[in-house]
Amino acid sequence: MIEQIKQVIENLNGYGFSVLVLVLGVLEFSFGLYKKRWNKNEKWVDIACFTIPKLVVKPLVAYYGLKVLPAILPGFKDTFSWVPFFWGCAIIAVADDLTQYWYHRLHHEVPWLWRFHRTHHSASYMGMAMASRQNIIYTIFFSQTYLTTALVYLGLGIPAVVVKGIKGTITTLAHSSIPWDKPFYQYKILHPLAWILERTISTPATHHAHHAATTDDGVGYYKGNFGNMFFLWDIIFGTAHISRQYPKAYGISHYEGDQWYAQLAWPIFKSKVPGSELAADGPMIKADVPLQPHQLYRPEPLAEPETEQAEASFRLQPVKA
């Protein structure tokens, strides 16, 4: 039974995830869910961030797994190969995602780290492409990548493949502009499941809030909701904000379209936009500015929170303001 489950998930990780991404992409473009905000500059940013890191980071991680780890831990290869499949998946899932939660959170709370993560928040839209929109240096130092690779070296290779497929699906769906979680809030029979779901994994409503351009409306919350696969970390560490609504504006309020190469590889390349956080003489953190009407989406609310727990908002100190 376990072998059959592993085989199914391995196959899904091989081609199923690619099919999912393709379907999401077609749907997003077909229904115009990017709201015509995917201009030429933003296309180049997304395409560069999707392709170039794969040419740089994957070989680097492969070298680390195939050369560095055997050199520094020569007697530990496959040490954990005795661990049962499901426990291996649990170890990988917790180790990988909890490490990423703190890596992500630090890039919002430590001012000098913010600019390495800023690219992921600069777009004024949400969509499948957002999941890989990252500064290459931020990607190279992904701490969870090296921890998971070490666990693979120690014998948890198959669980890592399975968790990667599940996590990739959840994070892509959470960034997608398709509000797949909306029915859970609309239909009363699904409300108990919604309560569990939104506190366990990242959903569009909770993760879109993290990408909001402002926190003034009670919906947007870029100061929290840091979870990637598991939203549970935000619940545990007090950084969760659940409103069951979507923000009216995404991105960074003072963003003026920094060049793709600056967003991909700052500080190696600097932005030519005067006053930008990525410019040569730019500030470390720039203050937010009032949003203009053209920056607003005005999406349809999902649902009003039913309980005080659903309205709970755990605040941090402002990071971008």
Tens of pLDDT, residues 171-216 = 988 998 888 899 999 888 999 999 999 999 999 999 999 999 888 7
Query: What is the model's pLDDT at position 129?
Result: 76
Q: What is the DSSP letter of 129?
A: G
Is 140:52 a contact under the CB 8 Å cutoff?
Answer: no
b/e sequence 199-219, b meaning 16+ C-beta within 10 Å: bebbbbbbbbbbbbbbbebeb
Q: What is the DSSP letter of 97?
A: H
pLDDT score of 7: 58
- Displacement of CA 181 from its chain's centroid (Å): 17
Position 319 scores a pLDDT of 40
Find how far residue 244's CA is from the centre of its chain.
Answer: 18
pLDDT tens digits, one per residue of 61-116: 999 999 999 999 998 999 999 999 999 999 999 999 999 999 999 999 999 899 99
Q: Considering only CA atoms, which of 63, 65, 70, 78 is closest in space to residue 158?
A: 78
How far is the C-alpha of 146 from the C-alpha of 306, rounded, in Å? 41
Helix then strand then coil, % of the chain, to nearest 5 = 55, 0, 40
Residue 32 has a CB neighbour count (10 Å cut-off) of: 9
One-letter amino acid identity for 144? Q
DSSP-derived letter for residue 178 is S
What does pLDDT average to over the chain?
A: 82
Question: What confidence score (pLDDT) does residue 15 get?
Answer: 55
Is residue 173 a contact partner of residue 207, using CB atoms and an 8 Å limit?
A: no
Task: Give the residue with greater pLDDT, 87 vs 9.
Answer: 87
SS3 230: strand
Distance, CA of 128 to chain centre: 10
Q: Give the CA-trace dihedral at 162, 165, 170, 173, to 10 degrees.
A: -160
Bigger pLDDT: 61 or 312?
61
Domain boundaries in the chain?
Answer: 37-296
> What kind and span of H or E run contains 204?
helix 204-210
Q: Tokens 């351009």 identify what position?
A: 213
Indicate whether this model's pTM tops 0.75. Answer: yes
How far is residue 238 CA from its own chain's centroid? Answer: 18
59 CB neighbour count, 10 Å cutoff: 10
Report the Cα–Cα distance between both ends of the chain, in Å, rounded.
Answer: 53
Would you state the pLDDT for residue 284? 86
pLDDT of residue 53: 84
Note the pLDDT of residue 307: 38
For the record, the structure tokens of 57 come out as 């980071």
Phi-psi region of 36 (alpha: psi -120 to 50; beta: other; left: phi over 0): left
Q: Tokens for 22? A: 């393709």
Residue 151 has a pLDDT of: 95
pLDDT score at 231: 97
Residue in the structure block whose two tokens are 């198959």: 158
DSSP letter assigned to residue 100: H
Give the Cα separation of 320 and 253 in Å (integer).
10
Give the pLDDT confidence score for residue 102 in this predicted structure: 97
In this prediction, residue 270 carries a pLDDT of: 94
pLDDT of 215 reads: 81
